Amino acid sequence: MTKAQQRYSTPKSKNIDEGNPVWFKPIMFGFLLLGLIWILVYYLSSARLPIAVLGDWNLLIGIGVAMVGFLMMTNWK
């Protein structure tokens, strides 16, 4: 190596973003599937399940859980 090459080396970035933690994708897909399953169970049970007292609010809960998964997707790297 020449002296010029020894003086210059490629800068090492210390702030490398390696992506999401290992638990991120399973949690994200879990929320998406849980929301879908919640809505499917509501429709297939003719509004008797998962929580009969809530009635049509079960749809909002299923959509809300799925939305958490969709919002997590925006941070997926």
Each residue's pLDDT tens digit, 5-55? 677 766 666 666 688 999 999 999 999 999 999 999 999 999 899 999 999
| Residues of the domain holding 39 | 22-77
In angstroms, the CA 39 to CA 11 distance is 52
Question: Residue 36 has what pLDDT?
Answer: 97
Residues 6+ apart with CB under 8 A from 19: 77
Residue type for position 30: G
Query: How many domains are there within the chain?
Result: 1
- Could you tell me the two tokens for 34? 């849980």
In this structure, is residue 2 part of a structural domain? no
Residue type for position 1: M
In this structure, is residue 32 part of a structural domain? yes
Residues 6+ apart with CB under 8 A from 42: 49, 50, 58, 59, 62
Question: Residue 9 has what pLDDT?
Answer: 64
- Residue 4, pLDDT > 90, answer no
Per-residue pLDDT tens over the stretch 45-74: 998 999 999 999 999 999 999 999 999 999
Question: Residue 18 has what pLDDT?
Answer: 80
In this structure, is residue 16 part of a structural domain? no
